[in-house]
Amino acid sequence: MNANSNIVASALTSCVGSFSSNMAIDTKVSAENKVVYGFVIIFMMSMGLVAQASQGSDVPEALSAFLGNHCIDCHDDAEASGGLNIQSLDWNLDDPHITNIWVKIHDRIAAEEMPPEDASSLGKVERGVAIEDLAGRIQRFQEKNYAKHGRSVARRVNRFEYENILRDLLHDPTLKVADQLPLDGEVHGFAKVGTALDVSHVQVNAYLDAAEFALRRALEFPVKKPQLQSNRYYAREETRMWAGKGNPGWARFSLALEGLEINDRYSFEKKGFDPAYEVRAEVITVDNTSAELTGTWRESTKSSNHVGTHYLADNNEGTGTYTISWKAELPKPGTYEVRVSFIGGKDMARKAPYLIRHAEGETQLTIDQTVTPTIENLWFPLGRFRFGSIGNGSNSEPVVAEISLSNKGANGWVVADAVQFVPLDNLEKENQKAQLSKEQASTAIFRGAYTPFYYGFEKFKAPIRGDYKVRLKARSVLRKTDYVEWEGEKKPRHYPGLVLDATRRYPTPVNDRIFSGKRSEPVKVYSSTLSEPNNQSMLPIGMFEAPPDAPEVFEMEAFFEKGAMVKLDCMRLPSPMVPAMPHTIQKIEPEGYPGVAFHWLEVEGPFIKEWPPASYKALFGDVPTEQSGRHVIAVPTHPLQEAGELLSGFMTRVYRRPVADAEFERFYLYAKQLLEEGETFTEAMIATYSAVLASPEFLFHCGEPGELDDFAIAERLSFFLGESIPDESLRALAQQGKLRDSETLRREVDRLLEKPEGRRFVKEFLDAWLKLDEINDTDPDRELYPEYAGDWWLVNSMIEESRLYFADLIAGDRPARNIIDADYTFADERLARHYGIPGVVGPTFRRVSLPGNSPYGGILTQASVLKVTANGTVTSPVLRGVYVMERLLGDPPSPPPPSVPAVEPDIRGATTIRELLKKHREDASCASCHQKIDPPGFALEGFDVMGRWRENYRSLGEGSERIEGVGRSGNEFVHFIGNAVDASGVTPEGDPFEDVLQFKELLLENEEVIARNITEQLLVYATGAPVGFADRDEVSAILEKSRASEFGMRTIIHEIVQSPLFLRK
Amino acid sequence: MKTNRRTFLQAAGVSVSLPLLESLGASSVEAAPKRMIAINQDLGFIPKRFFPKTAGRDYAMSPYLEKITEHREQFTVFSGLSHPGVDGGHRADKTFLTAAPHPGRASFRNSISLDQVIANEVGNKTRFRSLSLGINDVRSLSYTQAGVEIPTIKSAADLYKKMFLQGDRDAMEAQLDRLRRKGSILDVVLGQSSRLSKRVSDSDRQRIDQYQTAVRSLEQRLTDAKAWEARPKPTVDEAMPEYPEDRKEFFAMVRMMNDMCRLALQTDSTRVITLFLGSVRTPGVTFDDGRTLGGYHNLSHHGKDEVKLSRLEEIENAQMELFGEFLRDLKSVNEVDGNLLDNTMVLYGCHMGDANIHNNSNLPIILAGGGFRHGQHLAFNSQNNTPLCNVYVSMLQNMGVETDRFASSTGSLTGLV
């Protein structure tokens, strides 16, 4: 529409304004046409042409005549142009799908898109009459239906709402039950609409199981309040730091560090920390070579596990003819720990008799030499003994100590090697040393996490569900590499199967070349509940950046499930997957392997606010507890009375309206019956609560047609912005009857959006609206897109960007046009790199400005959207076009007619998708829809399958340049730089664009389209009913009220909640 | 795992204690029951390697069918079949056995699946009315009368436990108590909703009615379950499978699941099974020789690239070989009147004709066993497909369900009987 007609139109609109309020006028039609309708409808009324909407299947006569004259030529049984067959289309408005087709027919005619100019001589007046007639019929039919049933139909809670409700009710924020419930039906992608939320025995059974599971969790705690503890877990004492079943050879990527000095003794192959290390100088050791012997002991070196040059063995006869006596001169009298060394093994003496002569006399000990000695696999402590008399002369006088051993009755080979005397004060020093050395020691990780490989501390398991503080000490390091030439049969130790190429040198990581890191390394910390790492049981706790210069301690607050462990993802490090070889991984980081050295994990907790926990109190109030196995039971004084009180409180919270006496009675009688049958109080209450949680009052939103009462408003509001039942404040306002007050509603909307639960709304709405829950359905092809393989950080950051951006649109009441474009976005380091934004370092998200020529900014070109609209290999302008039309512009195209074959993508490099589509569009039946679908799809061709800007396609077959290398997951790849991307197109209105920047400008010429779409999407979500033809006026009213804020997103949400569409059933 | 399976097969039919076969031994006039298993491999097959070029009884095998050529006389391969009005690419998986039109559409509602129609007829005769199984995907092929998805059992080990692990007396009593408790809870729930439905609008009442029906239907199932709980479970020599955790062990999973399916049918634990082979969500596959190939779903979008196509072929060959193995295993189980395959209809196919372009016509479909006249390629019009439901009607009739229609059927298939 040009500017002139705008002015004329608005002038005329005011003249006929009185009509538009009660007339069925499609707001998408230009104001100019409204004027015509105004006259026409008067004309029609006077002629008695306005008929009642019919429920029969015959198309009303006048309409039928019109369609016959102008539409049936193409849209008949034979041709069904564009997949539309009007000839056989029933006039059955009860069927929502058929109604949608009629609405579409209306919209196309009204927008003068149909009939096509060249095929019809339809005059303005006749067009007006026809669409007015059609609009009136649909409108009246729907309004009649609304009056009878309401816009929305009773709906049950969906599985995510069900989970949230139980979480809120039971103060159990990490409860997981949604996965146990069947998938929900959706309308427009939203699991919020009653007609699709069917229910069968499967759900009912799942509800009973889920409720019982959740209720019993509330009893899983000890009667006695657990003490606050703080424990430190040293990385070096972990036997391994990865999880999941995998090749133990992965340990090679980890190594131990002492400070920055490498010591191979501490590698994982040694399994753990060696506390005796470095303390030997102060102990007194006597080897068998200095001992007195009887019998012909044989010298042996068969086992390398001995002290000195050799050890001694007897003849395995047990006769007592072999003896040995070690004498030591101790520097001073005192208590010493006596240790003996032997080698261990199944043929060794089961009863080796040792004799210790000490200050208090003699002690005989029989030692089982088959065991492996406990200290360094070498020393076995016999005990602590005092040597020399304190009362006898000076304390510094040397003392002689004697230990002897014979083979009498030994039952196996007796081994005699060395004895050791460790002074007790020295032992204490030794422990201190051990601490000091543990403090300095660390274990470094050189790869990012990848299912099923997570690194982490496994010695800590949360003793009980609750709040904890987690501290980690870490720094970043760099491990250098040497190039090793492999010759002949010599092969890398860890890769016996590797076929060597004599022409190549293989870089090999060298463990004694460890340096300070060059940069800080981001680490994401998770709590992992189940031993299975790849089953979604990972919950992020926090992130930190390990600094390069010296280790630092980072503290995070965490909520742990019972048994939860701490897992780590060094986000920026490559995640080489089996069977990646070190020489390929090396190419990812040619400067050396960056890694993160972890010193220790410290966990403090549980921090308990109340005991028994809030979960218990929510169900059993102040009823005393008693231990019963691993959980508690409730032991009331007056079971019946307390059952009644607890049940009443529970039902009031769970039902979203006052509980009728009869409703209460029914459940109360059940509890009573169970108690009278001898059931325990706890079991009776669990059964009764389960019944309440399976009752339709709890599960369904329903009510009378017409205005919602306060309770229904509270319910709708709370499920809209909190995905759960009303909180206390909302319940109170409903009880006081204040929720019909506009200002109160406004305050409540603001309050709910700011609550932490507001995040739930953002997540669930975006998952459904933008299909973000499908983001992991495909993975980028490793040959074509090696830089993305296994890059969780990137995918998670994409989702986070969309959530932060949308939350900010609402928080800042930013205009709806920001859905299409903006000069800012939210990014962390990974996403900024993806978008080519310089200067963003670290994993923390921040608002970043985008330069004017950036294709990014706006949901339309967010990487998350561009990924869910592509598969991992190719982008399709058709899929992206349909998505944009349906999700962002509110004009969903019809599905393709079944007879037309789909376009088959080709990545061999010879043809582009545009060329393939061109052929497709030559088919007349495709052209009319593709005229609208393709332009947005073409404009987005500038982005690859992960949403990164590209000038050229990549191909596997032909191309101007061959690219090879190693991908992030260690895979070697080859691909080619293919044809140049052409992102130009022409809009259906005939406006040409060169690229996505110009396309965005064209879209923003009509901001209202963007605002109307998001309003309608939110309306479906909020009210649980599709936006019907008859709702268009109210949608327009919402838009009018939001116009002053430039269609601010928070304003739109406020106006939706204030709208009759929201406040009526 | 392969060894386990072979070991078992040698023992099969000898030492397996089968309640059904025992009872047959007693009466010995009763025929073995008819069974049905429907398998959907959700990425389907490269069409030109799946479909034979010639039709009829003398048709020439296609490369993929070569893999199951030993069963030629026990299966029929179809071309030119699809569900009218079913579109939506991947999303059509949920209508593979229901044929409900337009699964991608906003107003889509699913309907009852083929297996559940059969289960409604014969389900009360076995411990499990039906089994819905899935590998590497949460989605299911089975839908109730109301079109609600029936969740799948996702591990062969879990299935084994449910079918064969007999708890002790205490465990059995505890389970019975649990079932009784659930029943009593449902009594309370039902009483409540009958009151509620009096004060809601008409359209709302329909939803509440649906809920009440669901509750009643669950009550009936609990009653059946109680009766079965009191009876001993069959015992088998087969050890519980060590079901892999790594999703790439797809083929091992399929093999174990196939084994469990055969055991379920053989022991008459159920007569109706659906098995969803979630190729789409299988990140990659590990072959028997330990080699792995990544990105199964990505390979299906091969974009005509030769390397991708050849990798995809390799995977699809393995899929067909596994299917052949399954048929062979069914054949190896003798029953009073033939073998287990003779008495079991095995439907195998996909809801997409060509995953590369996500189309839902010209579906790859094989029907094996069940006593049909097989050994042929029934070719229908590739431009104007015949409803797949016509095959389903023939299957229903073969099961003894008295009907001449199912969903979008226009009749039964004449060439089959």
Higher pLDDT, A57 or A317: A317
Q: Can you give the pLDDT at residue A244?
A: 37
pLDDT per position as a tens digit, A801-845:
999 999 999 999 999 999 999 999 999 999 999 999 999 999 999
Question: What average pLDDT does the segment A713-731 reach?
Answer: 95
- Could you tell me the two tokens for A99? 């109604």
- A956 in reach of chain B (CB within 8 A): yes
- A199 in reach of chain B (CB within 8 A): yes
Higher pLDDT, A514 or A60: A60
Instruction: Give the pLDDT band (50/70/90) at residue B140.
Output: very high
Question: Contact A704/A144 with Cβ under 8 angstroms?
Answer: no
Question: What average pLDDT does the segment B85-114 reach?
Answer: 87
Q: Say if residue A8's pLDDT is above 50.
A: no
Instruction: Give the pLDDT band (50/70/90) at residue A29.
Output: very low
Q: Can you give the pLDDT at residue A901?
A: 66
- Tell me how many degrees the CA angle A196-A201-A203 measures, rounded to the nearest 5: 60
Question: What average pLDDT does the segment A94-102 reach?
Answer: 84
- A155 in reach of chain B (CB within 8 A): yes
Q: Say if residue B202's pLDDT is above 80.
A: no
Q: Residues 6 or more apart from A965 whose CB is under 8 A from it?
A: A587, A786, A972, A973
The span from the CA of A104 to the CA of A106, in Å, is: 5
Q: Can you give the pLDDT at residue A576?
A: 66
Q: Can you give the pLDDT at residue A183?
A: 83
A525 min Cα distance to partner chain B (Å): 23
- B290 in reach of chain A (CB within 8 A): no
Find chain A residues with C-beta within 8 A of B207's C-beta: 153-156, 194, 199, 700, 702
Higher pLDDT, A928 or A886: A886
A687/B308 touch (CB, cutoff 8 Å), yes or no: no
Q: Can you give the pLDDT at residue A248?
A: 35
pLDDT per position as a tens digit, A475-496:
888 876 655 544 444 444 444 4
- Tell me how many degrees the CA angle B206-B211-B213 measures, rounded to the nearest 5: 95
Residue with tokens 């019109």: A66
- Could you tell me the two tokens for A216? 């019993």
User: Running DSSP on this structure, what letter comes out for residue A908?
Assistant: S
Q: Say if residue A505's pLDDT is above 70.
A: no
Q: Say if residue A688's pLDDT is above 50.
A: yes
Which one of A287-291, A945-949, B280-284, B288-292 scores highest in mean pLDDT? A945-949
Higher pLDDT, A913 or A410: A410
Instruction: Give the pLDDT band (50/70/90) at residue A390.
Output: low
A895/B245 touch (CB, cutoff 8 Å), yes or no: no
Find chain B residues with C-beta within 8 A of A781's C-beta: 295, 298
Among A649-663, A764-778, B98-112, the range scoring the smallest mean pLDDT is: B98-112
The span from the CA of B127 to the CA of B131, in Å, is: 10
A666/B188 touch (CB, cutoff 8 Å), yes or no: yes
Among A847-856, B184-193, B314-323, B370-379, the range scoring the smallest mean pLDDT is: B184-193
The span from the CA of A909 to the CA of A110, in Å, is: 43
Q: Can you give the pLDDT at residue A669?
A: 95
Instruction: Give the pLDDT band (50/70/90) at residue A395.
Output: low
Q: Can you give the pLDDT at residue B9?
A: 40
Instruction: Give the pLDDT band (50/70/90) at residue B329.
Output: very high
A687/B185 touch (CB, cutoff 8 Å), yes or no: yes
Q: Can you give the pLDDT at residue A353?
A: 92
Q: Residues 6 or more apart from A754 whose CB is under 8 A from it?
A: none
Question: What average pLDDT does the segment B350-377 reach?
Answer: 92
Instruction: Give the pLDDT band (50/70/90) at residue B106.
Output: low
Tell me which chain B residue has its CA closest to the CA of residue A683.
B181
How many Cβ atoms from other residues are within 10 Å of residue B231's Cβ? 10
Find chain B residues with C-beta within 8 A of A1026's C-beta: 106
The span from the CA of B174 to the CA of B124, in Å, is: 23
Work out the widest C-alpha separation in chain B, in whole angstroms.
66
- Could you tell me the two tokens for A360? 């208090």
pLDDT per position as a tens digit, B366-407:
999 999 999 999 999 998 899 999 999 999 999 999 999 999
Task: Using DSSP, state whether B105 is helix, strand or coil.
Answer: coil
Among A3-7, A306-310, A357-361, B65-69, the range scoring the smallest mean pLDDT is: A3-7
Q: Say if residue A269's pLDDT is above 60.
A: no
Q: Can you give the pLDDT at residue B87?
A: 82
B208/A695 touch (CB, cutoff 8 Å), yes or no: no
Find chain B residues with C-beta within 8 A of A150's C-beta: 201, 203
The span from the CA of B165 to the CA of A580, in Å, is: 41
Find chain A residues with C-beta within 8 A of B95's C-beta: none
Question: Contact B182/A694 with Cβ under 8 angstroms?
Answer: no
Average model confidence (pLDDT) for chain A?
82
What is the ipTM metric for this complex?
A: 0.76
**Predicted model pTM:** 0.77
Question: What average pLDDT does the segment A171-197 reach?
Answer: 89
Instruction: Give the pLDDT band (50/70/90) at residue A239.
Output: low
Task: Using DSSP, state whether A413 is helix, strand or coil.
Answer: strand
pLDDT per position as a tens digit, A566-579:
989 898 887 765 44
Question: Contact A959/A976 with Cβ under 8 angstroms?
Answer: yes
- B221 in reach of chain A (CB within 8 A): yes
Instruction: Give the pLDDT band (50/70/90) at residue A471.
Output: very high
Q: Say if residue B283's pLDDT is above 50.
A: yes
Residue with tokens 């790594």: B246
The span from the CA of A880 to the CA of B248, in Å, is: 30
Tell me which chain A residue has its CA closest to the CA of residue B215.
A201
Instruction: Give the pLDDT band (50/70/90) at residue A693.
Output: very high
Higher pLDDT, A80 or A522: A522
Q: Can you give the pLDDT at residue A1043?
A: 96
Among A531-540, B109-118, B332-341, the range scoring the smallest mean pLDDT is: A531-540
Q: Can you give the pLDDT at residue A21?
A: 35
Q: Can you give the pLDDT at residue A516?
A: 80
Among B18, B154, B208, CA closest to A198: B208
Among A317-331, A485-499, A920-934, the range scoring the smallest mean pLDDT is: A485-499
Q: Say if residue A782's pLDDT is above 90.
A: no
Question: Contact B181/A694 with Cβ under 8 angstroms?
Answer: no
- Tell me how many degrees the CA angle B15-B21-B22 measures, rounded to the nearest 5: 80
pLDDT per position as a tens digit, A326-346:
998 888 888 888 889 998 888
The span from the CA of A317 to the CA of A930, in Å, is: 96
Q: Can you give the pLDDT at residue A398?
A: 78
Tell me which chain A residue has its CA closest to the CA of residue B153.
A180
- A62 in reach of chain B (CB within 8 A): no
A452 min Cα distance to partner chain B (Å): 8
The span from the CA of A130 to the CA of A29, in Å, is: 13
Instruction: Give the pLDDT band (50/70/90) at residue A684.
Output: very high
B283/A182 touch (CB, cutoff 8 Å), yes or no: no
- A944 in reach of chain B (CB within 8 A): no
Residues above pLDDT 90, as percent of chain A: 44
pLDDT per position as a tens digit, A206-232:
999 999 999 999 999 999 999 998 999
Question: What average pLDDT does the segment A145-162 reach?
Answer: 90
Instruction: Give the pLDDT band (50/70/90) at residue B19.
Output: very low
> CA A988 → CA A312, A930, A1002, distances in Å?
96, 9, 11
Q: Can you give the pLDDT at residue A495?
A: 42
Q: Can you give the pLDDT at residue A396?
A: 61
Count interface pairs A-B at CB distance under 8 A: 227
B192/A699 touch (CB, cutoff 8 Å), yes or no: no
Report the residue from A153, A201, A904 with minimal CB separation from B204.
A153
Bridge partners (DSSP) of residue A339 are A381, A420
Tell me which chain B residue has its CA closest to the CA of residue A97.
B107
Instruction: Give the pLDDT band (50/70/90) at residue B8.
Output: very low
Question: Contact A423/A578 with Cβ under 8 angstroms?
Answer: no
Among A754-768, A902-916, A1034-1048, B212-226, the range scoring the smallest mean pLDDT is: A902-916
Bridge partners (DSSP) of residue B17 are B235
Which one of A80-84, A285-289, B104-108 scores highest in mean pLDDT? A285-289
Bridge pairing between strands A466-484 and B272-277 = unpaired
Q: Can you give the pLDDT at residue A559?
A: 93
pLDDT per position as a tens digit, A355-387:
999 888 888 888 889 887 777 778 888 888 888
Report the residue from B283, B304, B359 with minimal CB separation from A902.
B359
Q: Can you give the pLDDT at residue A280?
A: 41
Q: Say if residue A433's pLDDT is above 60.
A: no
A319 min Cα distance to partner chain B (Å): 51
